Chain A
Amino acid sequence: MKSTRDELMFAMSELQQFVSFLVQAIQNRSSNNPVNAITCSPSDVVEQIVAKQNHINKIVKEAEEQEGTLKEIAVEKAEYQRLEGEINKLQQQLRASQQMLESSLMAVDERRELTAQAKSRQCSVKDLLSYAHLISSNFSTQMPANWNEMDHRRPWPTDLDMRAGELGKLAQQSGKLSKLTDEMLAERQNQQAVPWKQQSVVTAASTVPTHILPLEQPVCSSPSSSEGEEMMEEVVT
């Protein structure tokens, strides 16, 4: 398919040819000796020229319309480029905000988890203070300032502590453990550590409300309470 430009050029070259024919036809008519063997009359050539001119006018009109269309296309292209740039910018902003939202959501989830954990392990200020007093007054987590190598106090229950408690008594009753002698008791009283009997542990145990005792069966196949006591009697010895 020929382009508009090629059609126009071809029509103009044809027009030029017809004009030259016309000039030659006029020359032949005016002179007695015809130079070229041109048989058609000038009027025919003029008709051809007029038809060709109309054709050229039509092509020019088409070309003008195409020029207008091209301009519109250029304008639309520029608009398209502009809109595409804006879309890219918005996409980048969307991705950035998506990342921010994801990180915020993750932070919120973590905080929610921590809050749930904290709520599940709630304890009152009174309990915290009483526990802090318990562990600090007995120096079980921190060495006393006046501690020396001869001091019997340790961050764990000593042999005498273990013998003086309920387990020790059970073992003594069953005869598997020797009774605390007077010397051992005197040594104990000389120690700065306070025996378990006088601890808030036993006092707390006697006042512990039953609703918090593990009344349900143990998770694993552990011995019953009486079997447990018997087992602990054996291990204490």
Chain B
Amino acid sequence: MATSEDVEMEPDAAEVRRFTVELEFIQCLANPDYLNYLAQDGHFQDETFVNYLKYLQYWKKPEYSKFIKFPQCLSLLDLLQEAKFREELVNIPCTKFIQNQQMQLWRQHFRKRATLVNSTIKKQGDQIKEEGKGK
């Protein structure tokens, strides 16, 4: 519902506010408990809401995605386009599974990154040694 505050705001400020609100909402989609709440509250049965989720896909473009702090929300936004996924979110074991997977990825990313950095350093060291031998 448009408030008088919005009417008095300049169009630029209103657009910025809409941007901020949509940015916050899309990042909320990274929270599996929040998705479970939306499913249990019946928001995914609302066609308008489903269309809104489809509309939010513009956030995947580089000029918008650079503002997203929790990039996992974009993967979940893609999954939310599927009706089957939206139906399954009602079940708490499903959201718990998603939560566990997110946490595992979060934990393992550190380890994987360390492995990748170490292997890159080793490969560069081997290359330098080979070049030295060649000379």
A positions within 8 Å CB-CB of B: 121-123, 127, 130-131, 134-135, 138, 140-143, 145, 154-158, 162, 165-167, 170, 196, 199, 201-202, 204-206, 208, 210, 212-215, 218-223, 225-232, 235-236
Complex Cα–Cα for A157 and B41 (A) = 20
CB distance from B22 to the nearest CB of A (A): 7
Within 8 A of A (CB), among B26-49: 27-28, 30-32, 34, 38, 41, 43, 48-49
Contacts of B22 in A (CB 8 A): 228
- Does B82 have its Cβ within 8 Å of any Cβ on chain A? no
Contacts of A231 in B (CB 8 A): 48-49, 52
CB distance from B52 to the nearest CB of A (A): 5
Q: Main SS of the interface on chain B?
A: helix
Contacts of A210 in B (CB 8 A): 12, 15-16
B positions within 8 Å CB-CB of A: 1-2, 6, 12, 14-25, 27-28, 30-32, 34, 38, 41, 43, 48-49, 51-52, 54-55, 58, 62-64, 66-67, 69-73, 102-103, 105-107, 109-110, 113
Contact between chains at B21 and A228 (CB < 8 Å): yes
Option from B54, B63, B71 in Cβ contact (under 8 Å) with A140: B71
Contact between chains at A208 and B71 (CB < 8 Å): no
Contacts of A235 in B (CB 8 A): 25, 38, 41, 43, 49
Contact between chains at A135 and B19 (CB < 8 Å): no
Complex Cα–Cα for A205 and B28 (A) = 17
Contacts of A220 in B (CB 8 A): 51, 54-55
List the 7 shortest-distance A-B pairs measured between CB atoms, nearest first. A156-B30, A222-B55, A218-B55, A156-B31, A220-B51, A226-B2, A155-B106
Option from A162, A170, A199 in Cβ contact (under 8 Å) with B21: A170
CB distance from A127 to the nearest CB of B (A): 5
Asked if A127 meets B62 with Cβ closer than 8 Å, knowing A142-B110, A167-B25, A231-B48, the reply is yes
Option from A127, A142, A166, A223 in Cβ contact (under 8 Å) with B106: A142
Complex Cα–Cα for A210 and B15 (A) = 8
Contact between chains at B21 and A229 (CB < 8 Å): yes
- A144 to chain B: closest residue by CB: B110
Complex Cα–Cα for A210 and B20 (A) = 13
Complex Cα–Cα for A156 and B69 (A) = 9
CB distance from A16 to the nearest CB of B (A): 94
CB distance from B45 to the nearest CB of A (A): 13
Contact between chains at B48 and A156 (CB < 8 Å): no
Contacts of B109 in A (CB 8 A): 141-143
Contact between chains at B72 and A155 (CB < 8 Å): yes
Asked if A212 meets B64 with Cβ closer than 8 Å, knowing A220-B55, A222-B48, A229-B18, the reply is yes
Contact between chains at A205 and B19 (CB < 8 Å): yes
Complex Cα–Cα for A7 and B130 (A) = 88
